[in-house]
Amino acid sequence: MVLGEVARYFASADSGTAYYQNGSTQGKRHGQSDNSEGWSQEAMAQEADLELARPSYFHVALAGGLGGTTGDMMMHSLDTVKTRQQGDPHMPPKYTSLGSSYYTIWRQEGIRRGLYGGVLPAFLGSFSGTVIFFGTYEWSKRMLLDAGVAPSIAYFSGGFFADLVAAPVYVPSEVLKTRLQLQGRYNNPHFQSGYNYRGTLDATRTIIRTEGIGALFYGLKATLYRDLPYSALQFAFWEQEQNAARAWLGKKDIGLPLEILTGATAGSMAGIITCPLDVVKTRIQTQINPSALSHAPASHTGTTGKSTSPARHSTHQSAGSKTHQSNRPISTSPATSLKPHTAATLDTSSVLKGLRLIYRTEGLRGWFRGVGPRAVWTGIQSGTMFVLYASFLRWFEKHPLISDVDA
C-alpha cells in the first residue's frame, strides 16, 4: 500500500511540470501524454543542457559532506533518544515519549556522555560516508539521465547505489556510535545496557579483542536494508519536491522556507517508512556474537577490570551456556547479560525474520519504536543537510576550489 502510493507519487511527478536547476523554466513538456517518445527525447536534451551547468563532482561531494555532517551533529542528541528507545531491552521500556526520554537522559547522564554519547565515531563516519555518498549519487544520477532513464527512476536508483557504495565506510562507526549511545556515561548507574566502555578507542579495542574485527560490521545487512531504501526514497522525494516547487514558483530559486520544507519532508517521509528496518538494525548492532561470550573471561567487563553490578553479573553466572548459544540477548557485553526481560531476541542472519519476530511479540508498536524521534531527527537533519548542501554549492560556484578542467 505504501509502496503503491510512492510509485503513484513518482509517476505523477514525472508526468507533470518539469523545472531544472540550470536557471531556465522549461514549462510543461509538450505532448507528454500523447507522445512518450517525444517526451523522452526532450527530457534527454534538457538533462544534457543541465549537465553543463552542474558543479564538479568534487564540489558536490565536499558540499554534501559538510552539509550532511552538520545536520548529523545537530541532531545527534535526538538520535541518542531514538537509539535508547529502540535498543532498550527492558519490558516495559524505560524510555517512552520523546520529551520525557530526552529530559531523563539529560538530567541523569548529562550532555557530553549522555545525549552526545558516541558523537566522535558519528562525526568520523558521517563526514566520510556523506562525501562518498554525494559524489557517487551525482555520478550515478548523471549517468542514468544521460542514458535516457526517467528522472524519478534516476533519482531513486542513484540514492540506492550511492548508499551501497558508502555503507562499508560508515557501518563500523554506526556500531561504535549505537553502542556508546545505548551505554551512555561510563559506569552508568541509571541504565543497564550491558556495555561499559571508557570511550571510542576503548570500545574499538574491546570489540576487536573480544568479538573480532568482524563485529565492527555487525548489522551491515540490516543497515543496507534500512539505508538503501531510505536514501533512495529521501533523494527521490527531495528531487521531485524541488521540481514541484520550481514549477509552482516559476523560477529556479525557491527561497529558504521551501528549501527547508522540501528537505525536511523528504527526510521525514523516508524515515517513517523505513522505521521498522531501523528498529531491527539498532537491535542487531547492540548485540554481540554469542561465541564471544564463551571466549571472554567471566570477570571481564572491558578494559577497566571493574565488574558491573552484582545483580547483572550473577545473572550471567546462572544463565547457563546453553542460553547464550541458542539466543542472542539484546544489548549484552562480552561477559554480562541483562536481567531477564521480555523483549524479543533477534536472529541476526535474517532481517525479515527479525521483522516477523518483533511483530509477533510486540506488534506494530514494536516495529515503530522510536518513530517520533526518528521522524523529527530525519526531518531536521535532512532539511539542514540539503539547505547547507545548496548553500555550499553556491559558495563554491563563486569561489571554486578547483577549476572546471580539473573536475
Tell me whether residue 311 is in a domain: yes
Per-residue pLDDT at 360: 87
C-alpha cell read off for 320: 547457563
Does the pLDDT of residue 99 top 50, yes or no?
yes
Over the stretch 155-184, which tens digit does the pLDDT of each residue have? Answer: 999 999 999 999 888 889 989 998 999 888
Portion of the chain with pLDDT greater than 90, in percent:
34
Q: Which residue has the higher pLDDT, 137 or 403?
A: 137
Tell me whether residue 5 is in a domain: no
Over the stretch 3-20, which tens digit does the pLDDT of each residue have? Answer: 444 445 444 444 443 444
87 and 184 Cβ atoms separated by less than 8 Å = no
Q: Is 68 exposed, middle or buried (0-12, 13-18, 19+ CB in 10 A)?
A: buried
Average confidence (pLDDT) over 85-101: 78
Handedness of CA 176, 202, 288, 341 (dihedral sign): negative
Per DSSP (E only), the strands in 115-259 are: none
Angstrom CA distances, 362 to 43, 343, 344, 358, stand at 48, 8, 8, 5
Query: CATH number for the domain including 342?
Result: 1.50.40.10
81 and 101 Cβ atoms separated by less than 8 Å = yes
Over the stretch 200-229, which tens digit does the pLDDT of each residue have? Answer: 999 999 999 998 998 888 878 777 888 899
Q: Which residue has the higher pLDDT, 110 or 289?
A: 110
Burial 315-332 (b: 16+ CB within 10 A, else e): bbeebeeeebeebbbbbb
What is the C-alpha separation between 188 and 203, in angstroms, rounded? 15
Does the pLDDT of residue 66 top 90, yes or no?
yes
Over the stretch 290-349, which tens digit does the pLDDT of each residue have? Answer: 554 444 444 344 444 343 333 333 333 333 333 333 333 333 233 323 333 445 555 555
Beta bridge partners of 333: 336
176 and 200 Cβ atoms separated by less than 8 Å = yes
Counting the structural domains of the chain, the total is: 1
Alpha carbon distance, N-terminus to C-terminus of the chain:
43
Least Cα distance to 382 among 247, 278, 231 occurs for: 231
Tell me whether residue 243 is in a domain: yes
Q: Helices H, strands E: what count in the chain?
A: 16, 0
What is the C-alpha separation between 141 and 157, in angstroms, rounded? 8
The Cα angle at residue 367 between residues 351 and 349, in degrees rounded to 5: 15
C-alpha cell read off for 248: 509552482
What is the C-alpha separation between 318 and 251, in angstroms, rounded? 69
What is the C-alpha separation between 301 and 257, in angstroms, rounded? 50
Handedness of CA 395, 25, 384, 145 (dihedral sign): negative
Per-residue pLDDT at 253: 84
Tell me whether residue 194 is in a domain: yes
67 pLDDT band (50/70/90 cuts)?
very high
Please give the residue range of the domain that contains residue 76.
Answer: 53-398
Least Cα distance to 151 among 265, 273, 244 occurs for: 244
Tell me whether residue 293 is in a domain: yes
Q: Which residue has the higher pLDDT, 4 or 397?
A: 397
Beta bridge partners of 336: 333
Tell me whether residue 227 is in a domain: yes
Tell me whether residue 13 is in a domain: no
Per-residue pLDDT at 190: 82
Portion of the chain with pLDDT greater than 70, in percent:
69
Tell me whether residue 21 is in a domain: no
The Cα angle at residue 134 between residues 129 and 138, in degrees rounded to 5: 150
Residue 106: count of CB within 10 angstroms of its CB: 14
Residue 399: count of CB within 10 angstroms of its CB: 7
